[in-house]
Amino acid sequence: MLQKQKGTLDIYGTDGIIYKYIENTIDSFMNLYNYEYIKVPTFEATELFYRGMGETTDVVNKETYDFVDKGDRKITLRPEFTAGVVRSYIENKLYVEGIKKYYYFGSAFRYERPQNGRLREFTQAGVEVFGVRNPKADAEIISLAYNILSSLGITDLVVKINSIGDSESRNNYSNAIKDYFKNDYDNLCDICKERLDKNPLRILDCKYDSERDFVKNAPKIKDYLNEESIKYFDEVKEALDLIGIPYVEEETLVRGLDYYTDTVFEIVSNIEELGKANTVAAGGRYDNLISLLDGPSTPGVGFAFGVERILILLKELESYIPKDKLDVFVINMDESGFAFQVIDDLRGSGFSCETDYTGKNFKNIWKVVDKLDPSYILIIGEDEVKGGYITVKNNATKEETKVKSSELIDYLDMNL
Ligand code: ATP
Ligand code: MG
């Protein structure tokens, strides 16, 4: 039997309902915060991710799905959206339009060891805000992420924030931890040995070394932020306080990617089911990325949700709105085609409607009806067609009424 690939999911049944519920909730929040939808390609030139994300990040080193296509192009399936959205922003000269606020929703691909909440194809939903460097913009996206998760019914959340400073602060800090780690060079993992020269900050983010005491005791970025970076971070926190978003400062939070500056954050859930894969949203400011990808120097800030991780949480919490009830089921026992027209009219008037085309006997059709549990059941047989009426049964009260065909829509409008 053919089976799905390792680390991929079929989402159906209750999961399908929850997944769409998450997507719809995100859509309505994005509307509330005035974000524009952007859809970018699933695959891009490999070079985009190498340049955008840095060649020594975990994601680009080991996790990307790279291939050479039939035209000998080096292609990569997107492991995240930011690089692609920035490429699009530059290529389409969207910067001429002033501040842009985009949101996206779609698959991302990483060759990881699959486990609960860690997949090879997963869904990211997130935002990118271009053209504004202001602490309130950072606080706004953190609050947006937090409010979406809260409104989905996830309350057990921790917002972790930190500042990794502007380029100047980061350079000073980089030099300090380079010095610090030199003494422990032999104790670093092989990847971190390489990182020490190229980008020592990433050692703090390493899945292995970050657990170890000499890394935990390393100098903290906080002590290396210049005045402007400290002021910026203070203002982010003040803005979060103003709107009552709870947060904790996490000194060791650095995020793995090259392009982050100043604010970085993660939203973590403490629910057991997610195990180590408990970060449901992550993001930060990236004032250097757009110029790094040959665009005009433009500040940016964004975050991404892991939608399947949210799905696991909502399923566990049983926190979702079930699918809307079916308005009408039409039982058709007439050959004339009249019922087929009625169904079309009903759907055209906005009533959800189902019927049965398989020609099951009456008893078996009722089984289908019971399972679907519609609000109303319409019976259309020869008598009804001849008499110009439809038998309408209220499925809750079991009351039956004969309604003139021409008055059916009005009748349902009044009663539903
Ligand atoms: P992690 O530390 O869990 O590996 P990350 O730092 O690699 O996460 P980001 O690159 O910041 O993750 O991606 C943003 C969000 O996308 C994560 O917070 C998470 O919710 C989700 N995510 C990342 N990788 C996966 C994956 N393999 N499967 C499912 N969701 C993922
Ligand atoms: Mg990862």
Name every protein residue with a CB atom under 6 angstroms from any ligand 1 atom. Answer: 80, 110, 112, 117-119, 122, 124, 256, 277, 279-282, 304, 306, 308-309
Span 396-400, mean pLDDT? 96
123 C-alpha to ligand 1 centroid (Å): 10
Ligand 1 centroid to 389 CA: how many Å? 58
5-16 pLDDT per residue, tens: 999 999 999 999
The protein residue with its alpha carbon nearest to ligand 1, atom 26, reads: 118
The predicted-structure confidence for 142-196, as pLDDT tens digits, reads as follows 999 999 999 999 988 999 999 999 888 888 888 998 999 988 888 899 888 888 8
Sequence ranges of the chain with CATH classification 3.40.50.800: 328-411
pLDDT confidence of residue 256: 61
CATH number for domain 328-411, candidates 3.30.230.10, 3.40.50.800, 3.40.50.300, 3.30.720.210: 3.40.50.800
Q: What is the position in ligand 1's atom list of the atom closest to the CA of 207?
A: 2
Of the listed ligands, the closest to the CA of 253 is 1
Atom of ligand 1 nearest to the CA of 63: 27
Nearest atom within ligand 1 for CA of residue 120: 27
Averaged over 197-215, what is the pLDDT? 83
**How many A from CA of 118 to the centre of ligand 2?**
8
Q: Which ranges in the chain are annotated with CATH 3.30.930.10? A: 13-166+226-317
**Mean pLDDT computed over 305-313:** 97
In CATH, the number for domain 13-166+226-317 is 3.30.930.10
Q: 10 Å Cβ neighbour count for 70?
A: 5
